[in-house]
Amino acid sequence: MSYIFQIVETEKQPVLSVKTTTSVRNLPNLVGTVYGSIVNYIVECGQEPLGPAFIAYYNMDMENLIVEIGFPVGKEIEGKGDITLRDIPAGKKATGFHKGAYSEMSPLYEKLTKWISQKGYEPTGVVYEYYYNSPQEIPESELLTKVEFLLK
């Protein structure tokens, strides 16, 4: 599969999210619950998500995965309970898209990591995945995910 990668520079983006530690096995169960609670809270506040759902990965320890699960919002909304107002930081990011099952994303990560290095950039260690559709709504082969590495 071929990919198109690019370096983009973005402004700071407010998000409502839940940051937690989980195992990779438990992640699918956790994600649905968290997304639902965040969307309900955003709507309760009279707003709607500004963009696609995301998960930020802060490490790759599959038993103690530190993740941030959330949605971008158009304006800052005070958090409630586990839901916290945070930001996706401004700055340079390397991006690539994957179409297909989540379980088949490894080649994108490998090629994007290599491309970043070849371009002379260094990742911060935080990676965002943005989910443009859902496996509950479409076949796995049609899933569209943007992967975004924050760069130093």
Cβ proximity of 152 and 124 under 8 Å: yes
- For residue range 123-136, what is the model confidence (pLDDT) as tens digits? 999 999 999 998 88
- For residue range 72-108, what is the model confidence (pLDDT) as tens digits? 999 999 999 999 999 999 999 999 999 999 999 999 9
The predicted model scores a pTM of 0.94
Domain boundaries, the chain: 5-151
Asked if pLDDT for residue 25 goes beyond 90, the answer is: yes
For the CA atoms of 7, 13, 19, 22, the dihedral, rounded to the nearest 10 degrees, stands at -30
Distance CA 33, CA 49 (A): 16
Residues 14-33, mean pLDDT to the nearest whole number: 95
pLDDT for residue 119: 97
Please say whether the structural domain 5-151 has been given the CATH code 3.20.80.10.
yes
Burial 125-139 (b: 16+ CB within 10 A, else e): ebbbbbbeeeeeeee
Distance CA 4, CA 25 (A): 30
pLDDT for residue 69: 98
